Each structure stands twice: as C-alpha cells, then as structure tokens.
Amino acid sequence: MWHNVYFAVPAILLFAAASYASHTKNLVKRVPQVKGLPGRGLPLLDTAFLSGGPGRVFDTALVRMHQAGRVVVNRAGLVTLTTERAYDAVDLAIIEAVGPTGQRDLTSLRRAVMRAPAVQELGDGLANRGLLRNPTLLRRAKVARRLLWLALLLTVVTIAAAYLVDRGEADRPSLWLPPVLVLFGLVSLLVTWPFKGRITPAGRRQLALMSVGKPWTPSAGLAPRAAGGALIGAIALGGLAASGLDDAELQEALLAAAAADLVTARSAMAGGSSSSSATSSATSCSSAGTSCGGVTWCGSGSGSDSGSSGSSCGGSSCGSSSSSCGSSSSSSCGSGSSSCGSSSSCGGGSSCGS
C-alpha cells in the first residue's frame, strides 16, 4: 500500500543537502572584514597575488631582489644569494628556501616559496578584504553541490521505484509531492551554482582601477631606494610577458621555471590515479587546505604567464615531481616551513603535512 511517508527519507536528505549547499555558498560570499577598495594603493605583493597567485608573487619578489643586487640568476636557472638582507617576509622566505649553501635551482626554489606561509598569508588578507574567494571554502561548496546532486538522484530513483513496485495498488500517493521534490532540488542546484574563478567582482574592479591610466607604480612594497618601480609594478600586475623586462636572461629563466612548474603539476595530477601514494597526496593537498604545510592558496588568480600562478603550488604532491616529496626536489622538502614540513614526512610517501 502506498503512503506519502515513502518520500520522507529522500525529502529529508534533499532538504538537508540544499541547506548545506546554500550555507557553504554564503560562506564563500561572506567578507569577514569589510573594507573599501584600496584603489591604486594596493601593495606590490598583494597586487601580484591578486593578479597571478603565488607564482606571480615569487616572480615579482625575485625580480625585486635581482634589481636590488641581492640575488643573481643565470640562464641555467641557478639562483645565487649575494646578501641575506631581507626587505619583507617574502624575501625572507626566498632566503630561507635557498638555504645555507647560498645557491639553489630556480624551479625547486619557486615551488618552495609558493608554499611559504608568508606567500599564503597574502591570499588570506585579500580574501578578508573581499578581493579573493577562499579556495578551501570554494572546494567545500563544490562538495556540497555534489551531495545535492546525489540527494536529487536518490529522490528521482525513489519516485520511480515506488511507482514500479506499487503500480497495481489503488492507494496512490499524492501526485503533487514527487514533482515538488524534484522541482525543489533543481531550483536548489540553480541557486547554489558555483562561482567562476577565485577573484571576486570587487577584486576585478580593483585590478581594473590599477590597469587604467598611467602605468601603475606600487606605493608600498618596493625596497628603499630601489630602482625600476614601474617595471616591478608591471610584473606584479601583468606578469613577466607583459612587463618588458630588459634582462633577457632573467626573464628566460623565470619563464622556464614557471613552465616546468606547470608541467610538473599537470603530470602529477594526470598520474595521480596510477599510484595510491599519489592519490592520497593529491587528496591531502587539495581537500581541506590544512595539510601539506598549511597551504590553502594553490594556484589562485585569474591568469598567468606560462603558468606563473601554478596549478597546485608545484604539483599535487607537495612540491615534488612525483607521488612523494622526496624525489627530484628533495631539498624543497626540508627547507623549513616553506615546503612540506619535515624530511621525515616527505620521505615516507604519506601526506606531506603530517
């Protein structure tokens, strides 16, 4: 005998999934510390992060150090420190990632610095101002929509199965109830449609303000008495390709490192299903945002030059080029807080942030 209570379980699941999806989307939209747009006064490295993500921050900071004579980069991609004097926290992250030898390969250095807390905190600050959407919350909202899809599918299957099982019974359920549940699920999916990109409308307006008029020169973030403010600002805002960097050797090395990082990230994600280690590592890097050394902002930004923002801060396996951290860039796994955390966790093939 048919009863309308047959739909109680799928209805409850559907309403719960819709509520959760709506809640997570509201969290993505919420701005914790509401502030007005800073106009053309956004600091240098904040601009770099907003425009191109962690990779753009590294490119900008390294060129700034190169212009000040604090590092030397050759065409082969070897970075050599000439002084350990740091202008800000990102400079310090670069110096610490280079290590006591004073030299390091540019590609592995880039991956390590992109994951450094000093760089990741730039994204947090921009999210607090409402210029970026937090990627951890974005991932949570996407998971909530998948649950909503599953609840709607369960509802449809329940409706179809119930009618097939009891089609000969005289006591039929209310005809309005199944269409209402399906319509509610479809409307909920439309209402919780995910945001495209991590830059908010306010963030896009901010970048537009800085892109119009005379070439943007940062009001904060340049080292004292540093030359080439307009050039550094162009790199932060538009990337290496749009900056007109006059040092061809430096530009070639940076673009090559960015391209290598992008290839590493894509190959790591493509090969993630071939080994359980890669799969577990990719999951820990991209799910909660609290593993792999606390990295949340992996490859944010609206665009990049040859992959400057990186697809996952140097791959889905915590900055390495394979399924575990201890392969070709083992030095990046032991360089303090800027990468995977500790050499013991990197060498074990488990999630790198443990």
The DSSP-derived string for 92-111 is HHHHHHH-TTSEEEHHHHHH
Q: How far, in Å, CA of 351 to CA of 218, rounded?
A: 39
Walking along the chain (354 residues) 10 residues at a time, the average pLDDT comes out as 67 90 85 76 91 92 89 88 90 93 91 92 89 85 90 86 66 71 89 83 89 81 67 87 77 84 70 42 34 54 38 43 35 38 37 36
The DSSP-derived string for 222-251 is PPTT-S-HHHHHHHHHH-HHHHT-S-HHHH
Angle at 256 between CA 253 and CA 259, to 5 degrees: 150
Euclidean distance between the first and final Cα of the chain, in Å?
55
pLDDT for res 93: 94
- Token pair 């050039």: residue: 231
pLDDT in tens, 86-118: 889 999 999 999 999 989 999 999 999 999 999
Q: Which of 67, 50, 97, 352 is nearest to 226 (CA)?
A: 67
pLDDT for res 167: 61
